Chain A
Amino acid sequence: MATVRHRPEALELLEAQSKFTKKELQILYRGFKNPCPLSHQECPSGVVNEETFKEIYSQFFPQGDSTTYAHFLFNAFDTDHNGAVSFEDFIKGLSILLRGTVQEKLNWAFNLYDINKDGYITKEEMLDIMKAIYDMMGKCTYPVLKEDAPRQHVETFFQKMDKNKDGVVTIDEFIESCQKDENIMRSMQLFENVI
């Protein structure tokens, strides 16, 4: 475990790179720098590793098991794949999610679903994602979760998204289908004012 302290880039640089203001960056950094109260282990300051990431996320979803989804999220945030999410990664991700264009957001979502980052979403990948999402709900749901609900959901998804029915969804198919769907468009704007 690296105890090397990681210093983020200068505030102005980050401000230029992301779409946040200085004040917002300050607020975000304060929260980012101190995820430790949750875990009992020492956490290297300046970066968030996957364990901590999972712990933080599971605090928000106490009933279910959010570790799988958190794992996928972590991979989506950790763009340089070095096993730790630095503040720059964090800001980059959040900047897209909160202040980006719809195109950028959809891009990000595609990146999340594409687990092996090969440019195609296969049914297996989608199934994993779907299972992870359903896991977060936990066991005590109404109506009770059926065994094949994730699979069915994946089928629905592919029917909607996979235009040429080749069993995989490419980025263009994805963006095109989403732009046609009003619900999705509207819900993309949902979290504009989170900070």
Chain B
Amino acid sequence: MAAGVAAWLPFARAAAIGWMPVANCPMPLAPADKNKRQDELIVLNVSGRRFQTWRTTLERYPDTLLGSTEKEFFFNEDTKEYFFDRDPEVFRCVLNFYRTGKLHYPRYECISAYDDELAFYGILPEIIGDCCYEEYKDRKRENAERLMDDNDSENNQESMPSLSFRQTMWRAFENPHTSTLALVFYYVTGFFIAVSVITNVVETVPCGTVPGSKELPCGERYSVAFFCLDTACVMIFTVEYLLRLFAAPSRYRFIRSVMSIIDVVAIMPYYIGLVMTNNEDVSGAFVTLRVFRVFRIFKFSRHSQGLRILGYTLKSCASELGFLLFSLTMAIIIFATVMFYAEKGSSASKFTSIPASFWYTIVTMTTLGYGDMVPKTIAGKIFGSICSLSGVLVIALPVPVIVSNFSRIYHQNQRADKRRAQKKARLARIRVAKTGSSNAYLHSKRNGLLTEALELMGTPEEENMGKSTSLIESQHHHLLHCLEKTTGLSYLVDDPLLSVRTSTIKNHEFVDEQMFEQNCMESSMQNYPSTRSPSLSSHPGLTTTCCSRRSKKSTHLPNSSLPATRLRSMQELSTIHIQGSEQPSLTTSRSSLNLKADDGLRPNCKTSQITTAIISIPTPPALTPEGESRPPPATPGPNTNIPSIASNVVKVSAL
């Protein structure tokens, strides 16, 4: 039952009273309307724009979001309205659908945005009214083609190291741009196709005169040379065909494809000729076979996209072409018959039979007008002129259709190519923007770890930290951190080619906490160098193995505030280390530590892609990543060792 009719249900029920007197048996009881609500206005607030409608209007379509109880999820108790955080423009169309029962598709709307909105409100796009359905379908088709294009090019550009040899070969054949070898092969085959075609042409040119005999075509004069050329070309083509056959993912499908048929037709005449050379009877047929060699020119369609488009267009306009052919045939037969009978009377007429008149009709309709057959009688001339006039019309009609099809497909291809070219630049720009935001994670990670360290130390420094990141960010970062903890891995910057050294880092992190706590317990009795060296020695692996690549950029900060390391960009590694004027030894030792670390690592490291945060506790040296300066915490005592240890320990690699 159509929903709009629900409004007339009361009438239909009332009209049923007309049956009552006629009925012989009692009627069933009417269903009670339990919650008989008075029809009320409900307010739908869509991104600030308020729409109001009757509740019953929405209930006409109970299987959509607005018509069912699903909308209660969006009910705002405070304002007593339903709030949807969606596009108000599209909502207009959606609401009109409830009101009128017809869903319209506005032309200015993007197709995927519209589809998303419809999916959200639980409305099937199929019920778009006839007035807008064509447009919708067209746009949808275009969009699907674009997506397919993008997917294809994506697939082409993915590097899939796990392809088998056969698959790589196939890819090389299909997309010559994937590797240099493929490109070379592509151009070589193209060259040989051209050579072969030119050879075929030149073979027939009369080449100089051998004195004493008639002019020979070049093919016979230099027959050996031409034969060698031909053989070479055929060799290349055969090898290419066999390679393609080997590499094809589905051999059966490959054999049936058009291009492979062309390939076969191109090389078969040669082999057949080899076999049949000495048989006189069939040499005539053999000569005919040589005609097929011209099909080699079609092999160029692999090299030219325009040719492929032309072929595709012709295929897609098959119906128009068929119509053209059919109407032409009809017209030819009609006019040929008429001309034949008109010219029958005239003497020495060339129009000897109707089939003979076909030639005249075709030549006239296509406005060629060779003039080898002309009508002589007046009636013939009249009909002849009608014939040529109508010929122009019949041919002119389907041609624009074919042309527009070709133009549409061609431009689509151009657009696809342009999109592919622009895509790289676009993606690069997007990547740059994204790394900016991923920096935020690492910064706050350092912040977070620092906070943890501080908390462990019991220093109430947190309030200065972390407020710089929003709640969502901090929750997201916490999540990432949890994942790191779960897997024992850590995030690396610019990581695609870095392999995470899980074991070392696992130990590393584990050791972090352990050492950290240990050192927390350890008293301040230990002094710097001693603690440092054992830490150094006890974790020889730390500095050397924790990061495969490491470059350091250390800055010394004024000791008044916490020495903070500056985190430049992701590309730079910052080593946070302690700095304090009160402990010059510290600095020296630290620098020596750094030096040592550097030395140890230098052989290993390449470019600095890792940011290492070495967090240490602020006593005179306090660390903050990235320019946050905090007042140095109170007690230097217990904290003295920590920095060094901590700096060793809490090496957040991966950063």
Contact = CB atoms under 8 A, between A and B. Distances in A.
Interface of A: 23, 27-28, 30-32, 34-38, 56-57, 59-60, 62, 72-73, 76, 90, 93-94, 97-98, 105-106, 108-109, 112-113, 129-130, 133, 153, 156-157, 174, 178, 183-184, 186-188, 190-191, 193-195
Given A37-B2, A108-B17, A94 B27 contact: no
A123 B17 CA distance: 20
A109 B38 contact: no
Contacts of A113: 18, 21
B5 A60 contact: yes
Nearest to B99: A34
B8 A184 contact: no
Nearest to B32: A193
Interface string B1-45: 110110111111111111111111111011011001011000000
Given A35-B8, A56-B5, A194-B10, A183 B18 contact: no
Contacts of B38: 23
B21 A190 contact: no
Interface residues of B, number: 37
Given A178-B21, A191-B14, A193-B33, 7 more contacts: A23-B39, A56-B8, A133-B19, A153-B24, A157-B21, A184-B21, A191-B30
A97 B17 contact: yes
Contacts of A97: 14-15, 17
Interface-centre pick from B23, B29, B100 (highest chain A CB count, 10 A):
B23
B4 A34 contact: yes
A113 to B, nearest CB: 8
A92 B134 CA distance: 44
Contacts of B600: none
A63 B54 CA distance: 31
Contact of B20 (A35, A72, A98, A188): A188
B101 interface: yes
A94 to B, nearest CB: 6
Nearest to A56: B8
Contacts of B10: 28, 31, 94, 98, 194-195
Interface-centre pick from A73, A76, A108, A187 (highest chain B CB count, 10 A):
A187
A177 B12 CA distance: 25
Contacts of A28: 10
**Interface majority SS (helix, strand, loop, mixed), chain A:** helix
A49 to B, nearest CB: 15
A97 B39 CA distance: 22
Contacts of B101: 37
B22 A133 contact: yes
B221 interface: no
Interface string B593-626: 0000000000000000000000000000000000
Interface in B331-352: none
A188 B1 contact: no
B379 to A, nearest CB: 54
28 contacts: A27-B56, A28-B10, A30-B54, A31-B7, A34-B100, A37-B102, A38-B4, A38-B5, A57-B12, A60-B8, A72-B18, A73-B18, A97-B17, A108-B17, A109-B17, A109-B21, A113-B21, A129-B22, A133-B22, A157-B22, A183-B26, A183-B27, A184-B20, A184-B21, A187-B26, A191-B14, A191-B16, A195-B10
A188 B109 CA distance: 54
Nearest to A177: B21
B130 to A, nearest CB: 9
A77 B312 CA distance: 63
A188 to B, nearest CB: 6
B25 A183 contact: yes
Contacts of B36: 193
A38 B19 CA distance: 25
A186 B100 contact: no
A27 B39 contact: yes
